[in-house]
Structure formats: structure tokens, C-alpha cells
Structure 1
Amino acid sequence: MRPPVLRRLLAGLAALALLFAWAAPAQAAAKAKVDFFVKSYTLAPGSSALIYTLLFADRPLPVASNAVSLKYELINQPAAFTLQEAGHPNNCSVDIADLLELTCGPMVDRLTPEGVDSGVVGYVQVAEGATAGQTATLSATMTVKGYAPVRRTAKIVVGEGVTLTAVDPEKERSAAPGATIDTPLTITNSSTVPAQGTAIVASAQYAFQSRTQFSNCSYLEGVLTSCVFPQTLAPGVTYRVTLPMRVRQDTAAPSEQYAGWQWMTDEEFADFRQYVLKGGFGRLGAAGKGGVLRLTEVTTAKAGPPQAVTGYTSHGMKLTVTGEQSTDLAAVGVTARGKKGAVVTVPVGLRNNGPAALDRSRVNPGWPTVRFYVPNGATAVKVPELCAPMASSGKVDETRRGEPGELRYSCDFYNLLKVGGTLSFDFGLRMDKVVTGARGAVAVGAPAEELNKANNTAAVVINPPVAAPGGSGGSGGGGGLPITGPAAAGLVAVGLLLVLGGAGAFLLTRRRS
């Protein structure tokens, strides 16, 4: 190849390299996509419902205060439908003139792919004289500062009012781990019209394990979440369904566990389910693979207008778990490295070694807590919202959760920690001073019944000493995370082009010599 030709080739390669180098950062800086979802409703005449709205972004997107607004409108809809606020002060304001426009300021500081509840306190309401089957379209517009407005709609349907009355709505029982606790739920159709299809939505703790999983019900980790009964309940007749359950074998004892079951029509459940599938109200889980769970005294279901219950109908149960079964909680420490001025993420927490699971989703005893002691030379600049400053005396300032700059923190949790599970809190530590082997600690705050006090503390070590050649060093290390994804592919291409260019330059130099 002649030198001028090679020079032109190298120039082309260099231009491509610059193109890739420019394109990769541009792709990384692409703007997030934002969206939202408004729940649809089936409402009885004379009733109203809180407007549940989920806000999304295709990646975690922090937003400033007042950077997000929502406007709900009923445009050219039947007069039976109106909007309402909850009074002042509040985060929604209704147009008093006609009650057809509601402007709200969501109480959020970030949007996420999973969706965040807007926290708006606004209502859609149906007039007393509304007719079953009437529908309206609720138009909604979300505006995020720096983004184009997004518009979505929800469907509001007037359902024929039915009254379901719970018989023995509150129950109390005692049982040991592993015991059978089959639970009957009994309701009466107190309406003058048949109830043409009903459903229950369950809210039960991990201890309530289903012994049989039915095909018309949903389950999450063995716990019933919902059932749909496509049956007609005659006016004035009482019906019963029995839920086959046991106390899960690894339930802590003694303890208190709670469950609740809310009744609704099948049309109301369809609205509820759509919202859950978008990320609201938790998860329903998969359908069971057994037979069909049915209400007793069933008649053939008949077609009719949509229906909605006229009041809140539910059953609740308090279960006192007897016996003695605690658990071993082990502190989980960490070793990390960082240069002066760098912010290092340090995950600290605890592991449940069993034999009992801990469920704090309903009952929240004062343990366990994770206590973190910041290593010397570091400052906590990023603190989880569930962590609050703790004085040397052990007193926790609950009013300053998530506040940076303290030496000690106490962190709570309010969910389920199964046997073998790990609970972790990520702190961001700024390296103000590089101290070789700087030590902090993580400790488990637990009462006397915790089984093993020997593993309740663990070390947090920053910049441990480097092992001598041939020895074994500590965990962690310098350098950043590996670059992956489309931007990395561009950088790899840049490197390849530069390598090719270098090879060509070497050949050109060699030929000249």
C-alpha cells in the first residue's frame, strides 16, 4: 500500500474513532422517559374514591419539590360524575365552579421504573341519582419540569349498589407453629338485588401459609392474596367460604400475627387488579394449581349490570402464636477501599440464620435494629431513609432520619426477613482522610431471646493493609466498576480503531526506514 493511501486510511480511522468517542457519551446522557397510570373505578351511586396514580420513569429520576404536577379533568362527561378535593391545606385543588377540574402536586422526590404512589388526595365521586352502567372518562395530564406533558385516561363506571355484611368480622385464635388454622369467612347479601360475582383481597402476614392453592385464587410465597367467586349471591342469603391454612413452621413464637380479607364485587376487583399489575398495592402472585374454591349455597350466575359494594366489608384475625421459637441474627460487616475525596458505598446489615422468620409488616416490636458506627477518617454523606442518628448513650433521634454527617446510626426495617435472608443498608462514606485499616462496626440491636450474641457485631474496615507478596490480601480493591452496555461497545470500538491505527503507523514507519 502506498504511503498516501495509508495516510488517508489512518485519517478515516481517526475520524471514526472521534465519532465513536462522541456518540458513546451522548447515548449515556439520553433523557429519561416519564409516564404514569391512573386507576379505573366501578363505584356505587352516592360514593366516591381516592384517585390512585402511579408515576414512572425508565430509570431512577430524582425530582425537585413542586417539579411534578397532575391535572385531572372530566371533559364533556355525564353530570353524575364530579371531582373533589379533601379540604385545605392539601395537595389538590378543585375548580369550585363546576367540580370538573382537579389540580394536584404529587408528594414525590423521585420517579422509578417500579412506580411511586403520587400521594395525591383528590377524589372522583358519583351522584346519588346515577344509573348503573353509566360511564365517564377521567382525563389526566402529568407535567414534569423539563419534560413534555404526558396524557392518560381512566374509566369510571357506575355499578349497581350491593351491600355485603360480614358475619363475625373479627376473630382471635391461638396456635403453635405448624398447627392447622382453617378459617371460615361468612357474609350475607343484605341487598334487595343479587350480587353477581364477588372477590376477596387478602392482607395476611407470612405466618398464614395456605395448605391448598386453588385455581381461582392468587398466592405469593404460599400466602393467599386474592380469590374471585363467579357466583350469584341471592338477596338475604348467607354464604361461607373456608380458607385452609396453617401457621408456618418457622414463625417466631411467642408472637402476634395478623390477617385481613376485604370483600368487593368482581368488577371492582378487575379495577384493583389492573392497578396492581402496574405496580400499585404490592403484588398478587400466581394462581394456584388446585381445584376451585367456592362459596356455599351457590346459584347459577346471571348476566346483569356492573355492581359495586356500598360500604367497606372485611374480616380480620389476630393470631397469637404460642410456644418458644426465636432466631439467630448475625451482623454483616464489609471491607472497602477508597482514595481521599472519593465516596465509597458501604453495605452494612444483618443475616437471619434461623430458625424463625421475622415479619415486621404488621407488628413492629423494637427489634432487630442495625447499628452502624462510621470508621475514622470518613464522613457519612449518603444515609438511608430508615436510618437515624444515634447518640453515644444509644438514644435515637427519629426526627432526623436520613441526615448525613453523624458518627453513629440506628436503622429499622418494616418488612419480612426470611430464614437465610440478609437485610442491608447502603451508606455513602466520603474519604476525608486515608487511614490504613480504619475500623468501624455494625451491630445487631436485639433482645435477650435472640439466640446467639457472639455474632451480633462485625467489623467495617476501610483501606485494609495490603498483604505482602505471596500472601493473601483483604477483600475489595481500587479502580472503578467495569463499563458495560452500549457505551462500552463504543469505547471498545474506539480502542480497536486506535490499535489498528497504531499498527498502520508502525508499518508506515518500518517501510520508510
Structure 2
Amino acid sequence: MRKPPFGRLARLAACAAAAGLATVGMAATPAAADSDQLWVVSPWELALPKGLDGAQGPATTVALGLYHDNPAHAVTDGELTVDVSGLAGVADVTWPDTCAPAGTTAVCSFPEVPLTGDAPVEVKLRAAADAETGVTGRITYQATARTATGTMVAPESTTTVRLASGPDLVMTPFTPVTGVAPGSTVPVPVSVVNKGNEPANGVQVTLYVTRGLDLGTVAPQCTSEPLDEGPVHALTKVDCAFDDVVAPGGSFALPAALQAKTAPYALSERIDIGVNARGGAEDLAPENNGTVASIGVTNTADFAVRGARLTAAGETVRADVTFHNRGPAWVANLGSGDPVGSVDVTVPRGATATTVPDACEPRTADGGWWEGEVRTGAPRYVCRLPIWVAEKQTVTFPFELRVDTAVTGAKGAITLKPPYGTDFPFDPNAGNNQAKLVLNPAV
């Protein structure tokens, strides 16, 4: 299942916000080198606006697609069979040119099946003119594709379609901006269209703004508050309440485009933007009520680790393993929730770890899972860093080591690793990403 682009940051901010536009029929797991799986991209359910006064409702798009797991395989000739027989008396269907309809089914073609869960096929639905609010129908999907070794078959999936009445506020997506210089200002327009069949009597706009951006005063109808304690606030919430009535087909925009000024320490910044109708009105499709304004700033952050040189024999000593962000940028993974990195620590020969920091997980000498009943005594540890670190911030992992055998110059390795890949693209100096933990260094 694709990770929702808006969900992680919203959960961190304790906000019920929009999830991704599309889901897949089942949760996918990473494919092994000799396996692959075909998946259908489709919504689980869809609220279709009912027409008023006996007319058909506005058109609603069902975005569909195919994808597969394994990058080692080329997957072609994808065919998605869409069966809309379950929509009889509920909705009328308009097929795109990429689909060949025959009665109540259509075959949609995908000459090349991608690795991502994109949804390029757009099927249009309109509520049947005489259908009643609350009735439901179903769309069923089956799919096949070809590989060098044969035919792939996707698990069958469905979309439940429900006729409903209410506003449907849809945000205009933001195109990511990159290459911004620190100190620059980036305009961030916020615009919304009501694609529902009832007016939105007031609009609530909620912004979650990362630390490297300053929006100034958004509007008199807005209030802001930091979402974490301490002297450094990673995230700020801005809540705005407007009395504007947005009629079906009408639009709403902030009084002025947001002006996001990037700080000297900015790097990968974002504004998560969500809208809702006020007064408790239920939005017909809350999954399209949000967007992310991603702003990439050209900056660097010099990550470094530091070990220790200790002299001891037959006693327990404290060994501090230290991470330091030398800046000038802060680094945050607020969208994914992943640590900014990890520190891999190998215990020196002749010593036993008797006290281990909570953020450090035991490993075998070759990095495998530690099967011991306790966390102490492992030959190696992986220590998780926070999901964000400010510029000039230090994180210390204090170990206590019992020196069982005094081995002159016993060295343990300390290596800083990224959450994905092999390097930190923003780090200009990879040479200080390694250090040593030395016991009883030679004189």
C-alpha cells in the first residue's frame, strides 16, 4: 500500500487530515529477487454527489492504475478489466480513450506497468438522475500483465460507490519547489474548489509549517501555536476560520498567497495544508482536502560522530558515543517519521556492554538480529537518532562497558548511517561520519 503523503505529518500533529488519493487492493510487501506481484490502484470507496431537483450530479473521477513490486522485472501489456455492472441505477459511466468498453465492462490498457502506484486512468461517474441519497453500488477490478516468464494476475479488488449529498472541497495540488536559496521567499497559493452538490458554509484552513519556514501573518482570521515543547519548535500549527460560503462549483482562496520565507538553517521544508467545511458538514471526499507544499532549499548539514579513548582494566567505564550536526542546516523527516540516521556501534574486544541507551538496539557482530534475552552483552548496537535534529544539536548515547580483558588498543567502530541508501546527500564531509571507540590505547 502506498504511504499517504499527508498522513504521517498529520498524525505527528494529532490532526485527522487527508490520506493519499488512491489505495491498493491489498497491502504489498517488498518482493524477493525472484518474485513479483501485480497490484490494482483504486479507491476503497467513493462518495458520489447526488444531483439536485432530478438532475444528474457533478462528474466525479475514479483514478485507476496498475503497478508491480520488483524493479528487476519488466512488466508490460497490462490490462485492467473494470466491471461496472454493480452501478446499475446508481451511476452513469464515461470511459477515457485508454479503455475499451463492451457493455458493463471495459478493458483499460497499460503498455508498460510502473513500479509506483500512479493512477493515470480517469473514469468519470455521475449519479443517476433518479437515484436516492444513500444507495450504494460497486465497481470490481481484475488485472493481468506479462513478464518474460509468463502472465501476472492481480488480486481482485473493488470500489464501493455511495450516493451522498454535501460539499466536496478539493485543494489544488502544489508543485514542489527546489533549488531555493536560504533567505528567499516562496509564494504558496492556497485555492479550493467545491465539487460537491451543497455549499460549504464557511471554510477551515489548517497549516502545519516546518521550522525552516516563516509565514509571517497569514490572515486576521488565523491563530498559530507551536506543536512541541522546548526552545526549538520543529512544527507550528496555523488554524484559520473563514465565514465564506462556497457554492457548488465555486472556489475559495486565502486573502493573499502565503509567502514562505526560508531561514538560514532551512533544508527540506514543507507546509501540510488541509481544508474542511465549517459547521460540522461532512465532506464527500476528505481524501482530496489536503496537499503538501514541498520546498527544497539548497543548503548543507555536516553530520559527524565522535568516539572516545578510555583506559580501564577490570572495571566499568562510561563510553559516550556522540553525534553532532554541525549545520548550517537542520534536518527533519517529519513527513516519513524516519530517524534522520543511525549510529552503528561495535563494542571493543575484551569489553561487555552492561548499560545500553534506550535508543540502541542490540545486533550480532555481522549486524544480524540479536537473539539474546537481554539487551546488554551484544557485540554491536544500532542507535536511532531523532526524526529531526537542529543545527548545532548534539545527541549522546552513553554506554557503560565492563572491561573483562585489558586488550591494548582494542578498537570498536562507530559509523553514522542514513535511513536509506549509502550516504547523506546534504552532508559535505563524509569523512567525519566514522570514529573509533578505543580501550587502553597504546602509549
TM-score bracket, shorter-length normalisation: 0.3 to 0.5
By percentage of residues, which structure has more helix? Answer: 1
By percentage of residues, which structure has more strand? Answer: 2
Q: Which has the larger radius of gyration?
A: 1
